[in-house]
Amino acid sequence: MQTEICAGELGIGTRSQTAERTIDVTNTVQDPIELLRDGLEEQFQRSTDQLAELTVRSRQPGRGGYDRDTLAALIASARQAVSDTAHALQRMAEGRYGTCERCTVDIPLQRLEILPHARFCVPCQRRQNG
């Protein structure tokens, strides 16, 4: 009995697949801001969709199963997420993304990876929050 095993089952890709993975890794290493942009665009879409859904529910009899206060809080949160994400994308378009709006120092990439819509470096954010 002869068994055929494809390269993919062994974790071995074809040259083209390996090249694609290498290009993906290289692009990731070369331009993490592009990855952040993609993530922000996805977040913007999710938040916009959520806001639209919550708005529809707010107009339904019984508010779609939500009590008035919970629905209001969810809508406010979705609006804030849309706003924060839109502003981050705007800063990217203007070339100001990743720069603290208060002291103009570069915001560390690790902070942007955790909080892609960050407007301030950590010390300035602490001062901002009081």
**pLDDT by residue, tens only, the chain of 130 residues:** 444 444 444 444 444 444 454 445 445 455 898 999 999 999 999 999 999 999 998 888 887 788 889 999 999 999 999 999 999 999 999 999 999 999 999 999 999 999 999 999 999 999 999 7
CA–CA separation, 115 vs 3, rounded Å?
A: 49
- Give the Å distances, CA to CA, from 63 to 26, 52, 54, 70, 71: 48, 13, 9, 10, 8
Angle at 128 between CA 36 and CA 106, to 5 degrees: 40
Other residues' Cβ atoms within 10 Å of the Cβ of residue 35: 13
Is there a contact between 122 and 111 (Cβ–Cβ < 8 Å)? yes
